[in-house]
Amino acid sequence: MNHSSDQLPSYRLYINGEWIDACDGAMMPVNEPALGQPMAYVARGSAADIDRAVAAARNAFDAGPWPHTPPHERARILHALADGIEARTAEFAEVEARNLGVPIRKSSFVDLPWAVEHLRVFAELARRDAYEPLPWNDLPGLSWNFVWREPIGVCGQIIPWNYPLLMAAWKIAPALATGNVIVLKPASYTPLTALLLAEVIHDSGLLPRGVFNLVTGPGAEVGEALAAHPGVDKIAFTGSTQVGRRIMELASATIKGVTLELGGKSPSIVLPDADLDLATDGVLFGVFFNGGQSCEAGTRCLVPEKLHDAFLARLVARTEVMRLGDPLDFETDQGPLVSHRQLQSVEEYVALGLREGAKLAIGGHRATVPGFEHGPFFEPTIFTGVRNDMRLAQEEIFGPVLSVVPYRDVGEAIKIANQTMYGLGAAVWSRDIPAAIEVARRIRAGTVWINDHHIILPSAPFGGFKQSGIGREHGLQGMLAYTEAKHIHVDLMQKREGRLHWDVMLPQAE
Ligand code: NAP
Ligand code: MG
């Protein structure tokens, strides 16, 4: 980090173990949404910088020790990086709160510990022998067969703005645990905690040069160059479904592996026997956490017709007490949205919902917070009278907007829940656990929470059905997604006789 002429911190690109300027020296501002003004500058990388980063990564993979470093050594390094973040927790939490606008209560108690935990879980997974048994084989002759797992190579990782540090941790932990090398591209709104992570990596001195590289810059330029680059072996992307489609297209030219974690329109299904006190706060936590800017937010609340009015009244009463305010105030429940562009998009969806015939039960407008008049604040908003075929109920809004949709019976609830192009998450609220599990099994989504929301464990697979993505992150599956499987076959006969498969073309010697 340097200080620019107006005394704001400025960050360069991190390539081949060094902090360097973009090829053309360009910089771009990074905003602090609550204040509506820049809080830092970062290098504005370009395709030429991706070339440099991929070359460094390629060299680290093809000629360096990293892919052959023993798993216990990689585990030690991941723990050391986790320690490095922990030692700077307060700083990371403050930067995350200022740059994204989320309350510091949330960045301190969710983003930081969970990012650290993620690195630690993958450190442990790195140590674990991913043993894949093969059946005994003596056809056509006696042999020993085993599966060798090795790193894929250069991994391009493109992350969104909604959980900046957590997304960086989710991406780098499994890649490093398995011996891959990385070019990370953070979102342009929120690159700062990923840059702090790069500082931690640099200061640790533990990773060989070129194993971890970070390039900031516009997605349309830097992200596209990374996804298309012939020197990149795998792309891992989290963000919108629209950009996800583009990533697949770009990756197809060189048949890169892709994992995509995309959008959602996840249902929160309140079953008729639910504990309504629990479900009220749970549904609100499901949708409004992180200002509604979560891919697996529970944006559609499905309620039995008979409970609709009473449950809506509870939701409204609890929403009324939420405090919008300064992200750095520990009393704040909801900060500003990430940007004015996002605010405008949320406003457009609210106007659209009203045109489609839905009604506002609470919220629906910009909010002004004294002292933060330039911040893109939006009231927590609940729509009622929503039909599931409205665009309001079908499209990802990415702001604090809940749609309440009534249903007649559980069969209809499941049908509505699945009537979406997405399939990322779902919540089921019920006292009857076997009944809730039955519903969970019929929901076409990658994660279903029973009586909770947003619990994404580093040890459990996470990802989307349908257009919410491809592949899984986290746990053993997430780790294997960073490996190539190699079958090694060892002949145990060691003699010419008995090789019937050779005899089909070569007569045995007399
Ligand atoms: P996005 O456009 O999908 O951006 C995600 C990441 O991809 C960012 O790093 C972005 O870089 C990069 N990118 C953008 N265009 C690219 C391209 N053509 N090729 C390669 N990389 C590219 O998401 P967004 O613009 O931040 O948000 C738009 C909408 O996406 C939101 O309103 C929300 O609905 C959805 N979203 C979903 C998630 C999720 O987790 N599912 C997360 C964020 C947003 P730049 O930041 O430089 O543009
Ligand atoms: Mg975009």
Q: Is the pLDDT of residue 2 over 80?
A: no
Q: Write out the H or E segment, with its range, that includes residue 135.
A: none
Q: Is the CB of 425 under 6 A from ligand 1?
A: no
What sign does the dihedral 198-473-55-27 (CA atoms) show? negative
Written as one letter, the residue type at 352 is L
Record the tokens describing residue 443, joined without a space: 């929901």
Distance 278 CA to ligand 1 centre (A): 33
Q: Is the CB of 238 under 6 A from ligand 1?
A: yes
Question: Which ligand 1 atom is nearest residue 167's CA?
Answer: 40
Ligand 1 pocket test, pick from 31, 158, 214, 232 with the greatest ligand atom count within 8 Å of Cβ, gives 158
d(CA 181, CA 32): 31
Residue nearest to atom 9 of ligand 1 (CA): 187
d(CA 447, CA 266): 10
Percent of the chain clearing pLDDT 90 (strictly above): 93
Q: Is the pLDDT of residue 266 over 70?
A: yes
d(CA 229, CA 250): 9
295 included as an active-site residue:
yes
Q: Is the pLDDT of residue 305 over 60?
A: yes
Q: Is the CB of 158 under 6 A from ligand 1?
A: yes
Distance 196 CA to ligand 2 centre (A): 23
pLDDT for the residue 128: 80
Percent of the chain clearing pLDDT 70 (strictly above): 99
Q: Is the CB of 191 under 6 A from ligand 1?
A: no
- Residue bearing tokens 């929301």: 453
Encode pLDDT of 58-81 as tens digits. 999 999 999 999 999 999 999 999
Distance 239 CA to ligand 2 centre (A): 8
pLDDT for the residue 1: 72
Which one from 96, 155, 295, 473 is the annotated catalytic residue? 295
Confidence of residue 5 (pLDDT cuts 50, 70, 90): low
How many CB atoms are closer than 10 A to CB 255? 7
- C-alpha distances in Å from residue 497, one per residue of 139, 160, 492, 504, 510: 14, 60, 12, 13, 12
Distance of CA 440 to the CA centre of its chain: 22
Residue nearest to atom 20 of ligand 1 (CA): 223
Distance 160 CA to ligand 1 centre (A): 5
The answer to pTM > 0.95 is: yes
pLDDT for the residue 499: 87
Q: Is the CB of 59 under 6 A from ligand 1?
A: no
Distance 264 CA to ligand 1 centre (A): 13
d(CA 380, CA 416): 24
23 included as an active-site residue:
no
Record the tokens describing residue 148, joined without a space: 């060798």
Q: Is the pLDDT of residue 510 over 80?
A: no
Ligand nearest to the backbone CA of 473: 1
pLDDT for the residue 3: 64
Ligand nearest to the backbone CA of 239: 1
Encode pLDDT of 350-404 as tens digits. 999 999 999 999 999 999 999 999 999 999 999 999 999 999 999 999 999 999 9
d(CA 375, CA 332): 14
Distance 217 CA to ligand 1 centre (A): 13
Which one from 261, 296, 396, 473 is the annotated catalytic residue? 261
Burial of 505: CB neighbours in 10 Å, binned 0-12, 13-18, 19+ = exposed
Q: Is the CB of 262 under 6 A from ligand 1?
A: yes
Ligand nearest to the backbone CA of 187: 1
Confidence of residue 130 (pLDDT cuts 50, 70, 90): low
Query: Which residues on adjacent β-strands are paired with residue 491?
Result: 143
Domains of the chain by residue range = 2-261+474-487, 267-450
Residue 292 falls in which region: left (phi positive, over 0), alpha (psi -120 to 50) or beta:
left
pLDDT for the residue 419: 98
Mean pLDDT across the chain: 96
Q: Half-sphere exposure of residue 377, counting CA atoms within 13 Å on the CB side?
A: 24
Confidence of residue 283 (pLDDT cuts 50, 70, 90): very high
Buried b (16+ CB within 10 A) or exposed e, 429-441: bbeeeebbeebbe
Q: Is the pLDDT of residue 131 over 80?
A: no
Question: Which ligand 1 atom is nearest residue 296's CA?
Answer: 41
Question: Which ligand 1 atom is nearest residue 345's CA?
Answer: 32
Ligand 1 pocket test, pick from 30, 31, 184, 240 with the greatest ligand atom count within 8 Å of Cβ, gives 240
- Residue bearing tokens 């039960």: 361
d(CA 507, CA 497): 11
pLDDT for the residue 509: 78
Q: Is the pLDDT of residue 166 over 70?
A: yes
Topology of domain 267-450, CATH: Aldehyde Dehydrogenase; Chain A, domain 2 (3.40.309)
Q: Is the CB of 162 under 6 A from ligand 1?
A: yes
pLDDT for the residue 144: 93
Q: Is the CB of 240 under 6 A from ligand 1?
A: yes
CB 219 within 8 A of CB 188: yes
Topology of domain 2-261+474-487, CATH: Aldehyde Dehydrogenase; Chain A, domain 1 (3.40.605)
Q: Is the CB of 398 under 6 A from ligand 1?
A: yes
Confidence of residue 4 (pLDDT cuts 50, 70, 90): low
Which stretches of 305-441 are assigned E, i.e. beta strand? 359-362, 366-367, 377-378, 381-384, 401-407, 425-429
Encode pLDDT of 420-437 as tens digits. 999 999 999 999 999 999
| 21: CB partners within 8 A, 6+ apart | 12, 13, 43
